[in-house]
Structure 1
């Protein structure tokens, strides 16, 4: 949509993100729209399109069932739970046939009618074709092959001149990862499009409406009549009028007709199947349904192949670790032991250079900057707390690294406990050439207050990005954490063997000290747990003696919050990795405790769907408190104090996690209590966002936050 402006820094560039595209007040003229009352006999109140010429002359005020030629009440009464749409109803018009889709929204029924071919493809033929394409998706060797096969399959299905598989990137920009087109057309393959081309509210509608078609961009919109219905929400209507800005955008691209099919993976918009045609072209409802089904299968295959690739990488890293760590058990000094496996250490993380810094002494291998730069990097790592650090853009964080991008643009630093040593894996700068469909930085001169217009040029614009290396994967960063622990364990074992041979008595004393330390740690843990239990007991006794029900409820909520903190402490004592916690296991134990406190009736209704996510310990505490508040709110407000279904889900999407708490009740609290304020503060501390939506019925709370601290 809009391009960044430089002429007026006060101009609001988010206008496209706020355009009310869900209430256009009109439809595309190839279809019809009827608006009927949701209750009673479903009297038709308003409509749009050439209804008199194509469906019935005296349509306004009639019963909806009479106009459609069939009774719609049984269909609406037997909709599956949580659904408000039923479609594919055949309707005979004046000289043509339609397929009707009914949408139940608020106090109205919206009925959209689209013309269909006289001889639609049979169900058996469609299922056979889908099965064959799904088989080809499964046999794809890698993701790129899958994308290419998907582009070809969707072009065969739709018949459009150009079909692109368009993937959203982390910054909401998009990239065409595959394309099937008429050879006479120029290619958009691998081209990127700025995030502003698809505004935020449009991306939200792509999740809600999985298919969208514009048979021709040159049309006169058919307004809703009477005019009092112009502000009706048409979010679910496929024939909804298109934003004039988007129509101009398509004209600027030289496109006459377009269609899009959403690729939704794990409930999030992964990308689009974008279809363009050089002339008018319709996409019948049955073809759109087939496309939506195929896109769902494509999303599942994308997820499966991404998970398989991550598993293979983890397995390869484990094999590399197992070949390196045993060689560190020799009785030579740490420096000599690491020098002996330098090539394997460098290769296992696909680094261009590797260095070990102990004090001011440097051992370097491969492509590395000068020793003084390496010492400066090691000093910087120590100043940041001595924890592992990973970055693909070191020059942006550390001034001393600027000017050395050719050898040290990427850094994975792993401090070791022994000899104050630090291991550095270095990656050279990767010059990336990005092809944009048009200049994303070009200024557009407009007067303040003037309407923004879409960009007019889609000519290839090449941008070169430097100062960055290839990104470290999450699996590689986890391997760095494991190496640190395994190096420590290997050197400990070596030290034990040496002391056992040369200083038997000293080893016995050391073992006694270690045992005493373990006893002390157990005692410390025992006392901390006792203290937390004591506080919880005081709260419980105070709640029982409180005269006020409100005070008792507040004390009960405080017990739940205290339990969330205590659980993290117990997990830290049990686990060998104190800097992080498996959030799924933590949530399972937290909910197990809450089931006990809430009672057996609530315990049977709480369901979990948790993916394993490794998070820093301090973030786990905040997430546990947020989850506690959300569950407390559900038990208090969803069912009026009675027990009812509550679903808790945990998902990971790249570098972010998503925590979902959903119920089937009747709403939420006022959001102004202490718990709500505390929850908002916890979400802000996580640099996350929390959204509340309609679970149809009930409330669906979604908290999204980065896994690591931003």
Structure 2
């Protein structure tokens, strides 16, 4: 099956939906200059005198611009409270947009205030969510809860799956409405830039899809490019409005389900007539969506944990068959079916040089050898796992009935041993909400339009197998490591008597190698020490400003010295444990600071294996970010700093968070440290972002675990 999102949707993905220049007219927008505090633009004020321009914003909202600015988060909104405008009591929120402060006003809705009664209802709904036994029940219960909160006719829990398509996991509908349960929606239905906004602005409402956009009016200031990423009233794309009209939807709302900082799915709400949501209801929905994301994470983590325990017990059972008198060759021959069953595969094959072992349903021998050669190098660094092998290895299209899915790992024996698990094609029928191919135009100059049909359309999926789970790929890696260890132990036992002399010679060579490595390390350390001594000597006669820079240079030199020493202490000189390196680096750095910093800096580091060059760069980045916290958050005095290292598939995140005065403390400078951070992030091909920590600052470094070859 060709992916329904294979159409080039560049024109849609490039639409600047965050700067529409207009709002939905059910609310009012006031745009003030952040410096003067005067209103420079407005929208949605039909019937209100244009004398709003140049008025002080404080006359309208009773908040000064300075007070608003100090209360605003770096991204997102701040609730100002009740404001009476044009004789009507309204809810007011504010957010920053470039050099402007934007205030949005919406009419209050009776019976939706966040009070003790509503909080009690939300607590009861939380309990209902927690009682769900699995993801299916959780999605169904969530759909019912959000329908109760919003009053919309149809509420769907929508999860993103393969190739960014989506599938409806849970649904609650009013009587008479068609169901989209288990239906798939192509990735093209939600453009790339819209997904990014969903993470930032987590509740969005279109009160009436037939609305006429209210343009932003200004006098001297041109506000057509005003960024409305945080707006609750932002006018939406005409393509999306037509999409909703084609579905027969008159009003919609969506709440983002964000797990680990990434968009997991959406709560999608549709209604047959126009419908607004009050600010209090939006906030309640956002809170419930956050709780739902946490529960999803807990259930997925628990499921992963149970699967890991199950697999490890089965691994132990297989390894017990590898006694002192059995070789790997005999193990493969005798336990091939058990190895296939371990990972829920239909077949298992092992290739080592001219030897070939197959168990269960496998392709013919030439095909197995061809696949082994195809994955031999790539499966050495990490497991190769695919549910659609023919996309990566074209000849696999000839044997999808036995090997549509492949999980392969390479054991680094003298002659590489490639272990491969196969899964047969899993024929299935995917239900789409409308034919995702039907409205595709083949004219590259044609204007992109939304789909016009959402009637159920079924498509047969071929050439795909059941997906490999994270626990299964981990198990394959672990099994290879354990088999390699067992093989090496067995060989040592078998050859011990015959190779005593050879082993002794090897020991002498290893000792010589160790001495050589120590000598090299000793000389490098001496050279680095000389440079450090030279920096200290220069600092004595330098001015205070130069002395400070030289001391910073010594700390950076320490990070490089520690990385080099770490290399020559480890068994591997190419791959090192980043968490261990950062722990030792932070210990040495904090010991050089004023007393109390060692206890103030808290580490939460997940083990991440990376190459030495990236470890050195990340160590220097961590050093700079800690130095920034010392300087700007606490002015040199000890204060709480949390350093966290996370791994998300092939990406790592290094987070340095303080509890200082916040974003206005001058974290982003133009000095040498800031320039070096930019250079380091460029070399890592990563990104460095700062967030408000309420209070304090969170610096988030995102980079690939391995660099491009």
- In structure 2, the partner of 1:9 is none
- Residue 302 in structure 1 maps to residue 296 in structure 2: yes
Instruction: Check conservation: 1:355, 1:365, Cα contact below 8 A.
Output: yes
Q: Which of 483, 489, 494 is matched with 1:487 structurally?
A: 483
- In structure 2, the partner of 1:591 is 586
- In structure 2, the partner of 1:216 is 208
State the distance in 2 between where 1:317 and 1:406 align.
26
- In structure 1, the partner of 2:104 is 112
State the distance in 1 between where 2:569 and 2:118 align.
52
Flag the 1:297–1:389 CA change in 2: closer, same or farther, 3 A: closer
Q: Which of 363, 370, 378 is matched with 1:369 structurally?
A: 363
State the distance in 2 between where 1:546 and 1:174 align.
62
- Residue 230 in structure 1 maps to residue 228 in structure 2: no
- In structure 2, the partner of 1:254 is 248
- In structure 1, the partner of 2:321 is 327
- Residue 444 in structure 1 maps to residue 441 in structure 2: yes
State the distance in 2 between where 1:94 and 1:133 align.
37
Instruction: Check conservation: 2:253, 2:270, Cα contact below 8 A.
Output: yes
For residues 50-449 of structure 1, the aligned pairs below 5 Å read: 50=45, 52=47, 59=52, 62-68=55-61, 70=62, 76=68, 79=71, 85-87=77-79, 89-93=81-85, 96-105=88-97, 107-121=99-113, 123-169=115-161, 171-227=163-219, 228=221, 230-231=223-224, 232-382=226-376, 389-392=383-386, 393-398=388-393, 401-409=396-404, 410-415=406-411, 417=413, 421-441=417-437, 442-444=439-441, 448=445
Larger mean CA deviation between 114-123 and 600-609 belongs to 600-609
**Secondary structure of 2:277's aligned partner:** coil
Q: CA deviation at 1:162?
A: 1.2
**Secondary structure of 1:250's aligned partner:** helix
For residues 128-168 of structure 1, the C-alpha deviation after alignment (integer angstroms, 9 at most, x for no partner) is 22222222222222222212211121111111111112223
State the distance in 1 between where 2:469 and 2:672 align.
39
Q: CA deviation at 1:230?
A: 3.2
Instruction: Check conservation: 2:239, 2:449, Cα contact below 8 A.
Output: yes
Flag the 1:297–1:512 CA change in 2: closer, same or farther, 3 A: same
State the distance in 2 between where 1:386 and 1:609 align.
29
Q: Which of 3, 23, 30 is matched with 2:26 structurally?
A: 30
**Secondary structure of 2:164's aligned partner:** coil
**Secondary structure of 1:404's aligned partner:** helix
Instruction: Check conservation: 1:437, 1:460, Cα contact below 8 A.
Output: yes
Q: CA deviation at 1:308?
A: 1.1
Instruction: Check conservation: 1:174, 1:193, Cα contact below 8 A.
Output: yes
Q: CA deviation at 1:257?
A: 0.3
State the distance in 2 between where 1:317 and 1:579 align.
30
For residues 482-509 of structure 1, the C-alpha deviation after alignment (integer angstroms, 9 at most, x for no partner) is 2223223333444455567xx4xx4765
State the distance in 2 between where 1:313 and 1:347 align.
14
Unaligned runs of 5+ in 2: none
**Secondary structure of 1:328's aligned partner:** coil
**Secondary structure of 2:451's aligned partner:** coil
For residues 170-199 of structure 1, the C-alpha deviation after alignment (integer angstroms, 9 at most, x for no partner) is 643333232222353333233333333323
State the distance in 1 between where 2:416 and 2:51 align.
88
Q: CA deviation at 1:110?
A: 2.2
State the distance in 2 between where 1:708 and 1:345 align.
33
Q: Which of 531, 534, 539 is matched with 2:531 structurally?
A: 539
For residues 619-661 of structure 1, the C-alpha deviation after alignment (integer angstroms, 9 at most, x for no partner) is x632541452464377479958965887643333344333345
**Secondary structure of 2:13's aligned partner:** helix
- Residue 473 in structure 1 maps to residue 472 in structure 2: no
State the distance in 1 between where 2:399 and 2:412 align.
25
Flag the 1:332–1:630 CA change in 2: closer, same or farther, 3 A: closer
**Secondary structure of 1:703's aligned partner:** strand
State the distance in 1 between where 2:414 and 2:688 align.
46
For residues 51-87 of structure 1, the C-alpha deviation after alignment (integer angstroms, 9 at most, x for no partner) is 656xx8975555545434x556796487387677432
State the distance in 1 between where 2:104 and 2:408 align.
56
**Secondary structure of 1:329's aligned partner:** coil
For residues 75-109 of structure 1, the C-alpha deviation after alignment (integer angstroms, 9 at most, x for no partner) is 64873876774326123455643212233455543
**Secondary structure of 1:591's aligned partner:** helix
For residues 593-672 of structure 1, the aligned pairs below 5 Å read: 593-596=588-591, 608-610=603-605, 612-615=606-609, 617-618=610-611, 621-629=613-621, 631-632=623-624, 635=627, 639=631, 643=636, 648-660=643-655, 664=663, 665-666=665-666, 667-669=668-670
State the distance in 2 between where 1:460 and 1:46 align.
46
For residues 234-259 of structure 1, the C-alpha deviation after alignment (integer angstroms, 9 at most, x for no partner) is 33221222222222221122211001
Instruction: Check conservation: 1:27, 1:222, Cα contact below 8 A.
Output: yes
TM-score by length of 2: 0.83
- Residue 572 in structure 1 maps to residue 573 in structure 2: no
- In structure 2, the partner of 1:702 is 701
State the distance in 2 between where 1:223 and 1:388 align.
53
Instruction: Check conservation: 2:183, 2:430, Cα contact below 8 A.
Output: yes
State the number of aligned residues: 684
For residues 445-524 of structure 1, the aligned pairs below 5 Å read: 448=445, 452-495=448-491, 497=493, 503=497, 506=498, 509=501, 512=504, 516=508, 519-520=511-512, 522-524=514-516
State the distance in 2 between where 1:456 and 1:608 align.
53
**Secondary structure of 2:228's aligned partner:** coil
State the distance in 2 between where 1:293 and 1:653 align.
25
TM-score by length of 1: 0.83
**Secondary structure of 2:120's aligned partner:** helix
Flag the 1:669–1:428 CA change in 2: closer, same or farther, 3 A: farther
